[in-house]
Amino acid sequence: MNKVFIAPRRYVQGPQALEQAGALLGALGKRVLVLWDAQVKGVTGATLLASMREAGLEVVDVAFAGDSTKAEAARVAGLARECRADVVMGVGGGKTLDTAKAAAAAAGVKTVTCPTVASNDSPTSSYTVWYDERGNCLGFESWGVNPDLVLVDTAVIARAPVRSFVAGMGDALATWLEAEACFKARGPNLAGGVATQAALALARLCYDILLEHGVDAKRAVERQLVTPAVEKVVEANVLLSGLGFESGGCATAHMVANCLPSFPECHGLMHGHEVGFGLVTQLCLDDDLPVERRNRIVDFEIAVGLPVTFADIGLAGVGRDRLARIGEICAGPGSLCENHPFPVTAGDIVNALLAADALGAARKEALGV
């Protein structure tokens, strides 16, 4: 299998990055369809629209219906064709960005993502996660191309809820451990090949930045401050996590995370929280992991407020019977759990889930939390 590495064409990050939107978008086209919801428009609209007007761009303002459904993407693609947009730009969270990517691909125009939260690794990727009208996840689809521009304003992100910033750290923290597992197993990445040395190095950098600066960055975001630590962690959460998962590959942390929404108790969690607990599960599955390294990862999750026990994800007291279904899916065909250098059975997964809960509780006790 070939080694494949993919990435967006341009990534721009800074505390006033939105002010450059006009100049950056002008290089891509003249007419821009902007997809956002009312709340996001309230936060970013004045700066973005002024910058685009100043650059002489035409703006088509479209309100996002709220979920990344195929119907919504088709509606936005229709509007993009109707108004002959050159660019579709999604401004907001993962669902807005994913819908913008799908609509741009369907209309055959350029794509820009402008995340207003650093909660997940969607902005740089070629993927859309699809949902149905009831909010159930239907899986994901690649458009074969990554965004032409990813525009990240760190002042906007520092004013977003801290919880979303922490979720982004959960999604990003798993990146290296999953890419490393995948590489050892010679498993496929999500770019249509196997990992390059570059993808592994970026995934490792993502991990190192979080362990060194994650706690400082969270404290700053609690005060809505943009500090050097916040800049570094936003880069880890958005750029490095995105490049690392797509060109590095995923494993058990994401597989368990993708199964958790089947429990109604977990519906309040963000993707990154689910990955945070999925990572503790992966750590309990791997017999080739030094105890100090494993504990350091769990202690970091506790320090920033990521979930490490069943109680933390709303599943206090859950038994083997309810976990068995996750075990079966994880051990089933096409599972990301195949991306480990050892076979994974349904029983292994159930044991690892229960061991993760016990490990999380033990580390909390050791830390006096």
CB of 348 to Zn ion, least distance (A): 22
**Whole-number minimum distance, CB 98 to Zn ion, in Å?**
12
Per-residue burial over 282-320, b = 16 or more CB atoms within 10 Å of its CB, e = otherwise = bbbbbeeeeeeebbebbbbbbebbbbbbbebbbbeebee
Closest CB to Zn ion among residues 22, 244: 244
State the minimum distance, in angstroms, from the CB of residue 146 to Zn ion.
Answer: 16
Indicate the residue among 121 and 286 with the shorter CB distance to Zn ion: 121
The C-alpha R_g of the chain, in whole angstroms, comes to 20
Q: Residues with Cβ < 8 Å from 320, sequence gap 6 or more?
A: 350, 354
Task: Find the shortest distance in angstroms from Cβ 251 to Zn ion.
Answer: 12
- Cβ proximity to Zn ion: between 29 and 188 the closer is 188
153 or 274, CB closer to Zn ion?
274
101 contacts 108 by C-beta, under 8 angstroms: no
Nearest residue relative to Zn ion (C-beta): 171
Nearer to Zn ion, 226 or 250 (CB): 250
Residue 89 or 251: the one with the smaller Cβ distance to Zn ion is 251
**What letter would DSSP give residue 313?**
G
Residues 104 to 123 in contact with Zn ion, rule: CB under 5 A = 121
Sign of CA dihedral 65, 273, 14, 125: negative
Residues in CB range of 364: below 8 A, 6 or more apart: 302, 308, 309
The residue among 148 and 171 lying less far from Zn ion, judged by its C-beta, is 171
Using CA atoms, how far apart are residues 344 and 174, in angstroms rounded to an integer? Answer: 18
Burial of 253 (0-12, 13-18, 19+ CB in 10 A): buried
Task: Please state the closest distance from residue 245 (CB atom) to Zn ion, in A.
Answer: 6
- The answer to whether 267 touches 277, Cβ cutoff 8 Å, is no
Smallest distance from Zn ion to CB 322, Å: 24
Number of residues that bind Zn ion (CB under 5 A): 2
What residues contact residue 240 under an 8 Å CB cut-off, 6+ apart?
172, 175, 202, 203, 205, 206, 209
User: Which of 171, 312, 338, 357 touches Zn ion by CB under 5 A?
Assistant: 171
In sequence order, the 6+-apart residues with CB closer than 8 A to the CB of 330 are 252, 255, 256, 259, 337, 344, 346, 349
CA-to-CA separations, 154 to 44, 121, 132, 160, 239, in angstroms, rounded: 12, 15, 31, 10, 13
CA–CA gap between residue 122 and residue 132 (Å, rounded):
18
Least Å from the CB of residue 156 to Zn ion: 21
Q: Is 286 in the site for Zn ion (CB under 5 A)?
A: no
Q: Which is nearer to Zn ion, 72 or 121 (CB)?
A: 121
User: To the nearest whole angstrom, how small is the minimum distance from the Cβ of residue 120 to Zn ion?
Assistant: 6
If the CB atoms of residues 69 and 241 are measured against Zn ion, the closer one turns out to be 241
Stretch that binds Zn ion, among 106-114, 165-173, 218-226, 287-295 (CB under 5 A): 165-173
C-beta closer to Zn ion: residue 90 or 170: 170
Euclidean distance between the first and final Cα of the chain, in Å? Answer: 46
Among the listed ranges 53-61, 168-176, 260-268, 286-294, the one in contact with Zn ion (CB under 5 A) is 168-176
What's the min distance (Å) between Cβ of 258 and Zn ion?
9
Contacts (CB under 5 A) with Zn ion, residues 202-261? none
Among the listed residues 113, 107, 142, 138, the one whose alpha carbon sits nearest the alpha carbon of residue 127: 142
DSSP-based three-state secondary structure for 129: strand
User: CB 36 → Zn ion: shortest distance, Å?
Assistant: 22
Question: Could you list the residues that contact Zn ion (CB under 5 A)?
Answer: 121, 171
